[in-house]
Homo-oligomer: A and B are copies of this chain.
Amino acid sequence: MKIGFIGLGNLGAPIVENLLEKGHALHVYNRTASKAQPLANKGAVVCTSVKELSTICDIVFSVVADDAALNHITQGNDGIAANLKAGGIHISISTVLPATSKHLSEIHQQHNNLYIASPVMGRPEAVRARKLNFIVAGDNSAIAIIKPFLADAGASGIWEFGENVSHANVAKLCSNFLIASAIEALAEGINLAKNSGMDAQQWINMLTQTIFSSSVYINYGNIILKEAYQPPAFSLRLGLKDVNLVMEQAAETNAQMMFGKALQERMHQCVANGLGEYDWTAIALALKEKSVV
């Protein structure tokens, strides 16, 4: 089977490297063509358009920045759906609205091919360590076909959420909301500990060996303690984008989100203050009396 990959950014590029390492022949496309060159050097075939790539491939991965970009590459005469062969599978890794997945899945059905929502949990270092968790939903037989490819892409976990594609996106948005909340809570707790004259590192060490012994608290706690906000593994700008999606889904489903709203305002303010290309843990900087930027 011929595999295509659209979107060669922070996540896409190392996932492509993982697939190449496992011996897959890959066709790749990126809007900014220069990003494809390092992968071409490792054996990927560079396509000049989404249409060209989609015509050639049986399975097309996409990782793009937002709902608009995903709509753009999927819909229309030059899009993935219209050019992928019958029975072909589009694996959409991007974090987008549940309604976007539902809509694009219907468009794929009209072209007799398939859309699988497969958002991923894991920062770039997790791609390289092959510790990604894919959250998948869509047609069961298509999922059975793609699972070995997700494994080769770097999955340590593949979590199936049924045939309704939108449920994978709901799970991903809810997960990112929990991470963002944990970051803000860690930032406020560490700041209170420091302002109280205590060794905040010692406190985090205790917590992450006891009741908060999970990767989110270990990793983000350490980033905030070290103030290691650059380079961003996941930018504040993209974090705000995701929290905006969370709040859009909350409005859509009439769900109260007090923390969600507070996070949205904080992140919006941080981006306005010039922190958009810092890691999203840099929301901790908002707690300092004077802005550092």
Q: Are the CB atoms of B188 and A207 closer together than 8 Å?
A: no
Q: Give CA–CA (A133, B207) in the complex, Å.
A: 10
Q: Choose among B135, B178, B184, B207 the residue that contacts A212 (Cβ–Cβ < 8 A).
A: B178
Count this chain's copies in the assembly. Answer: 2
Instruction: Give complex CA distance A235, B43 in Å.
Output: 61
Q: Is A148 an interface residue (CB 8 A)?
A: no
Given contacts A174-B192, A189-B178, A206-B159, contact A211 B253 (CB under 8 A): no
Q: Which of A27-35, A69-77, A79-87, A258-266 contacts its partner?
A: A258-266
CB pair A216 B212 closer than 8 Å: yes
Chain B residues near A162: list those with CB within 8 A: 199
Q: How far is the CA of A171 from the CA of B197 in the complex (A)?
A: 11
Q: Determine whether A182 belongs to the interface, using a CB cutoff of 8 Å to chain B.
A: yes
**Residue among B135, B161, B182, B198 making CB contact with A170, cutoff 8 Å:** B198
Interface string of A232-254 (1 = CB under 8 A from B): 00000000000000100110011
CA distance A88 to B207 in the complex (A): 30
10 sampled A-B residue pairs with Cβ under 8 A? A133-B211, A135-B206, A161-B199, A175-B206, A178-B185, A182-B185, A196-B249, A211-B215, A212-B214, A254-B289
Q: Is A217 an interface residue when CB atoms closer than 8 A count as contact? A: yes
Q: Report yes or no: B121 in contact with A196, Cβ–Cβ below 8 A.
A: no
Task: Tell me whether A188 and B258 are in contact in the complex, defined as CB-CB below 8 angstroms, given that A133-B206, A170-B193 are known contacts.
Answer: yes
A173 to B171, CA, bound (A): 31
A interface: dominant SS: helix
Looking across the interface, which residue of chain B has its beta carbon closest to that of A221?
Answer: B178
Interface contact B255-A195, CB-CB below 8 Å: yes
User: A161's contact among B98, B198, B259, B260, by CB below 8 Å, is which?
Assistant: B198
Interface size class of A (residues with CB under 8 A): 35 or more
Residue A210 interfacial (CB < 8 Å): yes
Which residues on the B side are within 8 Å of A141 (C-beta)?
A: none
Contacts of A61 in B (CB 8 A): none
Q: With A and B bound together, what is the CA distance between A187 and B222 in angstroms? A: 26
**Cβ contact within 8 Å between B191 and A256:** yes
Contacts of A216 in B (CB 8 A): 211-212
Are B260 and A188 within 8 A (Cβ)? yes
Q: Is there a chain B Cβ closer than 8 Å to A181's Cβ?
A: yes
Q: Which of B170, B177, B196, B253 contacts A185 (CB 8 A)?
A: B177
